[in-house]
Amino acid sequence: MYRPSNTMLLIFVIMYLRTSSGLFISTEDRIPSRNLTCKHDLPLTTTILFDCEACLVASRNYAIETKLSLAGAGRASFSYTCLKVNEVEGYHESLVRECRYYPRDTLSGFDDFCIASPYSYLRGSYRACLCTTSICNFNYAQCIHEVNHTIMQKSSLFTNTIVQLTKSVKCQPPNDDSEQEKSASLAPLCPHHDYTCKNYLLDNAVLCVISVDQTNQTARQSWIPSIYSAYLIKYKTQYCKAFASTPDSIHFSQCKLDDDVCMCAVDGCNKDLETCKKINQGISEKRYSILLIFLFLLNTSI
């Protein structure tokens, strides 16, 4: 009877530990697979950008001002975005969460029934189309045509690198004083006196965050379904060089802005940095120990 070699078993364990880690389905960075030309808005004009991974066009009847929506926020009328490789998953997840029918299993898609967080249908409705061919977002109708063509071609499935969080968590709220908590990397998500926005974050959070800077200044945030994936990817690919994770938390270190940042998905886990870092740590260590024992037993039986 065929038995796997020691080398094959070792490769299996290494790959398993390397590509899967807590809140990450895969720890590997997404690799660019397209070199698209897209229409893109700058602060004062609209231009053409290259080396895009996907193109987005969105339409709003009213200007929507919020930091809690990626595609939904913007001026009235149409807006255009070139999405780079590390942006596509965050925008895709945001559209899936905010739109009624946007497909989860493909990157390309469109939906005319989206509501930007934390708005109601009356003031926050928008429509969006995301396409994956060059110059496909020059107008909305063209984008829909390209998406339908892509669907007919049965393009490959879109796979996430971040775990899809659906369970609400109760995060430790920021200090409610005269000044907002400040952090080098955690920009405020709500205006200081906008308690509707702040309560929306606390009531709909799926990921809790705590940041501690070099002066021991602490900041906390609650991340909702429409934004957590995009922010998590930014810390992994842009802001920080190292991370350590447990099944329900991830601690980033060696960050550009000298913060220690931890994210977790358990009630009250962002009380302080040590609490966040140790969430389910014993379970994580036990998991790795079991894998190593399993490898040892298999090796000794060959």
Q: 207-222, pLDDT tens digit by residue?
A: 999 999 888 889 999 9
Cα 201 from Cα 147, distance rounded (Å): 33
Q: What is the pLDDT of residue 64?
A: 94
Q: What is the pLDDT of residue 283?
A: 42
Range name among 121-125, 132-136, 277-281 with the lowest pLDDT average: 277-281
Kindly state the percentage of the chain with pLDDT values over 70: 81
Same structural domain for residues 9 and 141? no
Same structural domain for residues 230 and 273? yes
Provide mean pLDDT across the span 166-175. 91
Looking at the domain assignment, is residue 96 inside a domain? yes
Q: Which residue has the higher pLDDT, 300 or 84?
A: 84
Same structural domain for residues 137 and 254? no
pLDDT tens track for 257-274: 778 999 999 999 999 999
Four-residue CA torsion sign, 288, 290, 295, 299: positive
Confidence of residue 287 (pLDDT cuts 50, 70, 90): very low
Same structural domain for residues 139 and 173? no
Strands, sheet with 207-212, edge to edge from the N-terminal-most edge strand: 218-223, 207-212, 260-264, 249-255, 240-246
Same structural domain for residues 194 and 279? yes
Q: What is the pLDDT of residue 181?
A: 56
Looking at the domain assignment, is residue 157 inside a domain? no
Q: Which residues pair with 69 in a beta bridge?
A: none
**Domain stops at, among 152, 183, 217:** 152
Looking at the domain assignment, is residue 158 inside a domain? no
Same structural domain for residues 217 and 128? no
Cα 95 from Cα 127, distance rounded (Å): 10
Q: How many CB atoms lie within 10 A of CB 296?
A: 11
> Which pTM value belongs to this model?
0.83
Provide mean pLDDT across the span 171-184. 66
Same structural domain for residues 109 and 126? yes
Q: What is the pLDDT of residue 215?
A: 85
Evaluate if residue 300 carries a pLDDT over 70. Answer: no
Alpha helices in the chain (DSSP H): 6-19, 88-98, 121-124, 140-152, 195-204, 228-234, 273-277, 281-301
Show the domain range for 283: 1-28+163-302
pLDDT tens track for 22-80: 788 988 888 888 999 999 999 999 999 999 999 999 999 999 999 999 999 999 999 99
Taking alpha carbons only, the member of 252, 229, 244, 246 closest to residue 22 is: 246
Evaluate if residue 184 carries a pLDDT over 90. Answer: no
Q: Which residue has the higher pLDDT, 134 or 214?
A: 134
Same structural domain for residues 170 and 299? yes
Same structural domain for residues 175 and 258? yes
Binning the chain into helix, strand and coil, the percentages to the nearest 5 are 30, 25, 45
Looking at the domain assignment, is residue 71 inside a domain? yes
Q: How many CB atoms lie within 10 A of CB 58?
A: 28
Provide mean pLDDT across the span 273-297. 62
Q: Which residue has the higher pLDDT, 279 or 255?
A: 255
**Domain stops at, among 152, 182, 209:** 152
Same structural domain for residues 178 and 302? yes
Looking at the domain assignment, is residue 194 inside a domain? yes
Evaluate if residue 292 carries a pLDDT over 80. Answer: no
> Angle 25-6-298 (CA atoms, 0-180°, nearest 5)?
85
Same structural domain for residues 134 and 229? no
Q: What is the pLDDT of residue 183?
A: 61
Same structural domain for residues 1 and 78? no
**Domain stops at, among 152, 178, 210:** 152
Taking alpha carbons only, the member of 100, 124, 122, 102 closest to residue 113 is: 100
Q: How many domains does the chain have?
A: 2
Evaluate if residue 15 carries a pLDDT over 50. Answer: no
Mean pLDDT computed over every residue of the chain? 85
Provide mean pLDDT across the span 238-253. 92
